[in-house]
Amino acid sequence: MDQAGEFRESLRMVRDSAAAIVPRGDLRRIRALRFTDPGFDRSTWKQICDLGWLALPLPESKDGSGLGMRGFVALAEELGSGLVPEPLIPAAMAAQVLSGAPLADLLAGHSIVIPAWQERPNSLDPASGTTLRNGRLAGKKLFVPMAAGADLFLVSAREGLALVPRDAAGVTLSLDRTQDGGTFGTVAFDDAPATPLPGNLDRALEEATLATAAYLLGLSRRAFALTLDYIATRVQFGHPIASFQALRHRAADLKIQWELMRASVQSAATTLDLDPDLPLCRAAVSRAKARAADASLFITRQAIQLHGGIGYTDEADIGLFLRKAMVHANLYGSAALHRARYAALAPEEQDA
């Protein structure tokens, strides 16, 4: 088998490994975790770490798998198809800048580190008004995903990065429920003790954004599949409604949107793996995230309509996919923000 074939086989194995966490056709675990704290299962998180998923996007110099973003995107797509709530994407973002014992503890599942970097709605700027002086942190961070499950926060400050225990003196956490049953945290730091760290979040933020686009790709794929199954079995006027031409045209439109989303996400993953130019990577990521945000909302909303009245009930699984898409479409920047960033970075190209 040549090198390209070996890489494809590795990606297939990554996707297959997701079956341990994403059982096909069973969303009972996902329903049971909604509107609970921390919103995910610690034992499942340990299983995720034991499978080595956090190390997928890491370079081999940091004990990573060497599969890069193409491997991580393949995994994120599978997790999106099962609406997995465990905070793999933000924790992998933290892993990109950690080293030594904090990284080892995170990869082994002994601690959960969640980045806290955002201070303004719909922003991709980790620079902030938060200050880090003499090992003390002061400031406030917004929209921290699944913050209730964090053991430590990786915080961006004006002076650099810092690692802060959630239960440290001066740390206050408040939670807001999201549409999908998870939480966003607001974390305030009032002279909290912090460990300064080298590096920045620039590259890690791009990778988390693209992984979120891949998660949306996966949930859209599953929502589309559920919809095809439903219209193939739902009978009206003595015929499956899938035989009605109008519905077949709508299904074709959804398939086209999904294929365009898939191509954009995979192209961006290849760019991140093979091109070190950060502006070019940012343009590719923004194109993919804008496409994924718009297409996932379009597909899941249309899926609800194609399910008819039952699609609007909480008992119908299809509604879980729309709720998740509504949250993740704006996570790490909305479609509008990414279209604007793409236009600024690649003005000679057509918009996404």
pLDDT tens-place string over residues 172-211: 999 999 999 999 999 999 999 999 999 999 999 999 999 9
Smallest CA-to-CA distance from 142 within 173, 171, 180, 111 is with 173
Cα gap 181→85, rounded to integer Å: 9
Q: State which amino acid sits at residue 23.
A: P
Whether the predicted pLDDT of 72 surpasses 60: yes
Whether the predicted pLDDT of 351 surpasses 60: no
Instruction: Report pLDDT digits (tens) over 17-37.
Output: 898 888 877 899 999 999 999
Sign of the CA dihedral running 95, 101, 105, 108: positive
Report pLDDT for 324: 98
End-to-end CA distance of the chain: 36
Query: Distances in Å between the alpha carbon of 43 and those of 21, 103, 256?
Result: 11, 19, 38
Q: Which long-range contacts (CB under 8 A, 24 or more apart) does 267-274 make?
A: 268/210, 268/213, 269/68, 269/69, 269/70, 269/72, 269/73, 269/210, 269/214, 270/70, 272/68, 272/69, 272/206, 272/207, 272/210, 273/68, 273/69, 273/70
H helix runs in 234-277, sequence order: 245-274
Instruction: Name the least confident of 14-18, 79-83, 317-321.
Output: 14-18
> Model-level pTM?
0.94
- Residue 343: count of CB within 10 angstroms of its CB: 15
Cα gap 4→13, rounded to integer Å: 14
Instruction: Report pLDDT digits (tens) over 73-123.
Output: 999 999 999 999 999 999 999 999 999 999 999 999 999 999 999 999 988
Whether the predicted pLDDT of 350 surpasses 90: no
H helix runs in the chain, sequence order: 3-17, 28-33, 42-50, 68-81, 88-95, 100-108, 202-233, 245-274, 278-306, 318-328, 335-345
Instruction: Report pLDDT digits (tens) over 253-299.
Output: 999 999 999 999 999 999 999 987 889 999 999 999 999 999 999 99
Query: Distances in Å between the alpha carbon of 318 and those of 166, 257, 270, 279?
Result: 35, 18, 31, 37
Report pLDDT for 64: 80
Whether the predicted pLDDT of 238 surpasses 90: no
With bands split at pLDDT 50, 70 and 90, how would you rate the model's confidence at 243? low
Whether the predicted pLDDT of 62 surpasses 90: no
Smallest CA-to-CA distance from 11 within 306, 346, 266 is with 266
Q: Return the SS3 of 137.
A: strand
Which pair of structure tokens corresponds to residue 274? 């093979």
Report pLDDT for 352: 45
Give me the domains of the chain, ranges plus CATH numbers: 3-108 (1.10.540.10), 113-197 (2.40.110.10), 202-345 (1.20.140.10)
Say if CB 78 and CB 51 are below 8 A apart. Answer: no
Q: State which amino acid sits at residue 116.
A: A
Q: Where is pLDDT greater, at 345 or 3? A: 345
Cα gap 320→312, rounded to integer Å: 10
